[in-house]
Structure 1
Amino acid sequence: MPEPIPHAQPAPRGTGDVILRVENVTRIYGAVTALRDVTVEIRRGDIHGLLGENGAGKSTLVGIISGQRSPSSGRIVMDGRELDHVDVRSMEEAGVFLVTQEPMIIDSMTAAENLLLGIWPNRGGFVNWKTLHAQARRMVEGTGIDPMALAGKLDAVTRRKLNILRAMFSGGRVIILDEPTAALTVADRRQLFDFMRRLKAEGVTFIFISHYNDEILEICDAVSVLRDGRLAGGSDDVGSLTSERLTELVLGRGLALFQRERRDHTGVAPAVSLRNVRARDVDIAALDIAPGEVVGFTGLPGAGAKELAKAVFGLNHGSGSLSLGGVAQSLPASPAEAIAAGIAYLSDDRRREGSVGQMSIGANISLSSLGDRSRAGFIDRAAESGVVQHYFKAMGIKAPTPDYAVDTLSGGNQQKVCLGRVLATKPRLLIVDEPTRGIDIGVKQDVLAIIDALSREGVAVIIVSTDTDELVRAVDRVCIFEHGRVRETLFGNEITVERVRATVQA
């Protein structure tokens, strides 16, 4: 087992010390050109940002750099040497590792066992546990990771750090981080960024993929922006850029960010009333939501925001009462009961829980409301087609027809399909969990505008989000959770980025 890898100190910026060069790379899939003549240089010891809308070509470029895909034309140069063959093994041997958004970790093993997975030290055919634990302790020194902790018990940021360390100690000199801040709180993100800066100081080079301008401006040294499969621009000095300029590069135009016109719902008879709701990590005595009101739920992980949303939809079983439009009932025992009562829920995991990737757009849109268009076990295809066409157009889904499979769409368009599916149930209460996670800045505005328009029709809305900026621009009221309860509520002008962040972290 190798000792911790010594890293040379990064060369001073501006020296032109390029560790990885992607030169005139094109990738063609049948009639579709996913990348066209893209050239990107990654300098040694940099954190290099990669930005672009969903479908701009980021995933294709990362797939080529990591060896998962081969270019149709162009070349890849590592340390001044052109690589003759590009696959995962050859790229990892060259020192390029991909750390995916979902950490590749075996929950039943310890952090140490995961860290050294595949290269456990052995003696006479048996694992040398003493050596393994000693090596792991050296590798995690100063990172805050307990090498003996069960991986399944680690928090989100520690799991990401563990994957980065595993790549680094496997020989990684260029580590690709694919949206590593997904599902992280503000404090988690700060901790991850500090960790990245520490490794950067040791000479590690990062390619950092994000949809958030503020993250690029905070952590990156350089940035490349893709648009429609081409390099739209970038900079070797991120400090010279503004968020507005990055948005222009991403979209090819300026963008007015969505801002809800907040309304005061004081004194309005509630559309939704929760009473004495008890469930895992939930202890709510009373909570009312007015018709047309958009309420933000936020807090640290496990504080109760997400857990209450799931309890209301029958996914986090508990006790208590729910009143919709003045009609009281027990808390739904299942999603089927919730949908029947007029509650819709959009999961924060669109791939695993929000859609069926192999099915068509139309089949996904109609999936949760087929019962409304079925008689004696037979589906009214004409009625189903009408619903599909309505939401296909209303959501602004970018596809030739609703017959295309969902997994052929960009992340933002997949999210629009998921939103269309839940809206097709005609809810009186809509719950959306991290509705804009992992989608580009342009589509985010579309999604927030769709939710806003629905609220104007009288639908009560709950937005569960750790994106403070999103909450500030999209809601009338913010409920900040702690220990399963609403610790503080902010209204109107109290809802600012600074106030929300400070209250969550207090």
Structure 2
Amino acid sequence: MTTLLQPRPETHAPAEVVLRTDRLEKRYGGVLALDGVSIEIRRGTIHGLLGENGAGKSTLVGLISGQRQPTSGTIYLDGAPVDHADVKAMEKAGVFLVTQEPMIVDHMSAAENLMLGIWPSRHFGFVAWKRLREDAARMLDGSGIDPAAAAGKLDAVARRKLNILRAMFSGGKVIILDEPTAALNVDDRAQLFDFMRKLKSEGVTFVFISHYNDEILEICDACSVLRDGRLAGGTQDVRSLTSEALSELVLGRGLALFQRQRRSFPEASPALRLRDIRAAALDVPALDIRPGEILGFTGLPGAGAKELARAIFGLLPVRSGTIAFSGEIDAPQPLPRDPRDAFDRGIAFLSDDRRRDGSVGGMSIAANLSLSSLQSVSSGGFFRRGAEGALSDRYFAAMGIKAAGPHAAVDTLSGGNQQKVCLGRVLATQPRLLILDEPTRGIDVGVKQDVLRIIDALTRDGVSVIVVSTDTDEMVRIADRVCLFEKGRITRELVGSAITTERLRGLAEG
């Protein structure tokens, strides 16, 4: 196995290093969130930053971008120390943070968004609109973005590009990208990476935060790994690394990546039969799902994968469509009319946005775990606190949630543990069919293996699972069968050993 460098900064000629941290420390009361972190970021490179949820990535980025002040230690930009700088001062010095959710004013044009904060003006403070449009057209040349397009109608990649270019043309020397590939499919990610390589060739420096080893190995020149608030290791040449070595650094131990022992269902009668599902941009004449099968749905945005999943759960209005479970195959029923109807029929759904749809952050873990099962913890219209406690204790343990206890508020948890709470909530309904939309998005590699193992274990009790995902590695490790969607239809199916990363990426790009 490849061994990474020990946690100490590497030495380069001063002219090479654009940003350096020297023994940065950050304390919150008695909690040491960052402990003596020293890293060097070279000019014109893409520097990866990895670590589990809670490893210290957000704290380090907060210090570098001026959102927080270090308890001790020094940040150097172009060799000069930076002291007590806030966000505005760091941006003026050339350090910009591009958040995971692009900061876009939807009702403005792409040109207006690009020039936010640097709009050219004429006398008396009036905007020089002609000059603004000309400057924006020049800046956006070659980006594939129409300067006159309404920003609210841009796709996910264009929105991210716009934020990166705005930082760049506002004087950015170091642009920090916080999980920029979240919600992007394979094709979108490739397009974004090509764009980053182009800007890198022009001298732009990126700090690239990701939970995915394959992304770090594909796009980065160098990387640093944080663990428990300390620098666990790093290298200025990622070509020497393997995915396994990165995972070992992130976790502090070797990690056996989960691989489901795929099952075949040649003679099994279906656990679920879907017929004649038609809606706006969705046309699926027939689909059977076997007992205990994990079925993957994948495709470009709007191709039909998410749409079919939402239609089955009653979230997407349909013109037609029937569903029949085992034992009821000859008596199909219309698709659920709403989520409550779906839950009553034994269908559970986990959204791809845990903060918006999956949990209530200010409520306790216990309250969140029982949210979708209120009928089972109530009697005669009265809520039974003891029943909620029993349910939450069961799923708190089963999900392996790391927290002080079920009484802890969900918004105090790491992203991975929040996802476990969301998964526990839908499992508490004891579904016959479980639909998971991007179940491991935004969680670290260790927790991801936990979630995949939980999903796998469910199928041993006969639960059928649909996983909607654009993560090809996830599909290869978890799915028995994969459906590829295009233009609202299932156009290809891969089964068993035919499910490979190369095939999935080739089909998606094709």
TM-score if structure 1 supplies the norm length? 0.95
Which shows bigger deviation, 184-193 or 447-456? Answer: 184-193
> Counterpart of 2:442 in structure 1: which amino acid?
G
Of 398, 411, 429, which residue of structure 1 is paired with 2:415? 411
- The answer to whether the Cα contact below 8 Å between 1:280 and 1:316 also exists between their aligned partners in 2 is no
- Where does residue 7 of structure 1 map in the other structure? none
> Counterpart of 2:42 in structure 1: which amino acid?
R
After superposition, the CA RMSD in angstroms is: 1.4
Q: Does residue 1:367 correspond to 2:371, yes or no?
A: yes
Query: 5 Å matches for 1:164-175?
Result: 164-175=164-175
Query: In the aligned structure 2, how far is the partner of 1:32 from the partner of 1:323?
Result: 54
Q: Does residue 1:447 correspond to 2:451, yes or no?
A: yes
Query: In the aligned structure 2, how far is the partner of 1:55 from the partner of 1:84?
Result: 26
Query: In the aligned structure 2, how far is the partner of 1:365 from the partner of 1:31?
Result: 31
- Where does residue 37 of structure 1 map in the other structure? 36
SS at match of 1:127: coil
Which shows bigger deviation, 417-426 or 85-94? Answer: 85-94
> Counterpart of 1:482 in structure 2: which amino acid?
E
Query: In the aligned structure 1, how far is the partner of 2:273 from the partner of 2:32?
Result: 52
- The answer to whether the Cα contact below 8 Å between 2:33 and 2:59 also exists between their aligned partners in 1 is yes
Give the CA deviation at 1:271.
1.5
- Where does residue 391 of structure 1 map in the other structure? 395
- The answer to whether the Cα contact below 8 Å between 2:396 and 2:406 also exists between their aligned partners in 1 is yes
- The answer to whether the Cα contact below 8 Å between 2:367 and 2:388 also exists between their aligned partners in 1 is no
The count of residues paired between Structure 1 and Structure 2 equals 494
SS at match of 2:316: coil
Query: 5 Å matches for 1:167-246?
Result: 167-246=167-246
Give the CA deviation at 1:240.
1.6
Query: 5 Å matches for 1:12-31?
Result: 15-16=13-14, 17-31=16-30
- Where does residue 493 of structure 2 map in the other structure? 489
Give the CA deviation at 1:14.
5.2
- Where does residue 6 of structure 2 map in the other structure? none
> Counterpart of 1:269 in structure 2: which amino acid?
S
Q: Does residue 1:152 correspond to 2:152, yes or no?
A: yes
- The answer to whether the Cα contact below 8 Å between 1:25 and 1:73 also exists between their aligned partners in 2 is yes
Give the CA deviation at 1:453.
0.3
Query: 5 Å matches for 1:288-367?
Result: 288-318=288-318, 319-327=320-328, 328-367=332-371
- The answer to whether the Cα contact below 8 Å between 1:345 and 1:422 also exists between their aligned partners in 2 is yes
Give the CA deviation at 1:413.
0.8
Give the CA deviation at 1:244.
1.5
SS at match of 1:457: coil
- The answer to whether the Cα contact below 8 Å between 1:223 and 1:236 also exists between their aligned partners in 2 is yes
- The answer to whether the Cα contact below 8 Å between 2:271 and 2:325 also exists between their aligned partners in 1 is yes
Tell me, which stretches of 5 or more residues in structure 2 are unaligned?
1-10
- TM-superposition CA deviations, 1:223-273 (whole Å, max 9, x none): 110001110000111112221111111111111111111111123221111
Query: 5 Å matches for 1:94-173?
Result: 94-123=93-122, 124-173=124-173
- TM-superposition CA deviations, 1:298-341 (whole Å, max 9, x none): 01111000111111111111131122234432111211111111
> Counterpart of 2:23 in structure 1: which amino acid?
N
- Where does residue 466 of structure 2 map in the other structure? 462
Give the CA deviation at 1:505.
2.3
- TM-superposition CA deviations, 1:331-376 (whole Å, max 9, x none): 1121111111111111111111111111111111111111221122
Query: In the aligned structure 2, how far is the partner of 1:126 from the partner of 1:325?
Result: 69
SS at match of 2:48: strand
- The answer to whether the Cα contact below 8 Å between 2:120 and 2:128 also exists between their aligned partners in 1 is yes
TM-score if structure 2 supplies the norm length? 0.94
- TM-superposition CA deviations, 1:373-432 (whole Å, max 9, x none): 112221111111111001101111111211111111111111111100110111111000
Give the CA deviation at 1:48.
0.7
- Where does residue 502 of structure 1 map in the other structure? 506
- The answer to whether the Cα contact below 8 Å between 1:389 and 1:402 also exists between their aligned partners in 2 is yes
Query: In the aligned structure 1, how far is the partner of 2:257 from the partner of 2:63?
Result: 33
> Counterpart of 1:479 in structure 2: which amino acid?
C
- The answer to whether the Cα contact below 8 Å between 1:177 and 1:208 also exists between their aligned partners in 2 is yes
Query: In the aligned structure 2, how far is the partner of 1:381 from the partner of 1:325?
Result: 35
- Where does residue 46 of structure 1 map in the other structure? 45
Give the CA deviation at 1:101.
0.8
SS at match of 2:423: helix
Query: In the aligned structure 2, how far is the partner of 1:148 from the partner of 1:100?
Result: 24
Query: In the aligned structure 2, how far is the partner of 1:488 from the partner of 1:291?
Result: 21
- The answer to whether the Cα contact below 8 Å between 2:118 and 2:170 also exists between their aligned partners in 1 is no
Query: In the aligned structure 1, how far is the partner of 2:72 from the partner of 2:496?
Result: 55
Give the CA deviation at 1:128.
2.9
Identity of aligned residues (%): 69
SS at match of 1:157: helix
- TM-superposition CA deviations, 1:28-61 (whole Å, max 9, x none): 2233211111111111111111010111111111
> Counterpart of 1:212 in structure 2: which amino acid?
Y
- The answer to whether the Cα contact below 8 Å between 1:280 and 1:307 also exists between their aligned partners in 2 is no
> Counterpart of 2:325 in structure 1: which amino acid?
L
> Counterpart of 1:416 in structure 2: which amino acid?
K
Give the CA deviation at 1:83.
1.5
> Counterpart of 2:60 in structure 1: which amino acid?
L
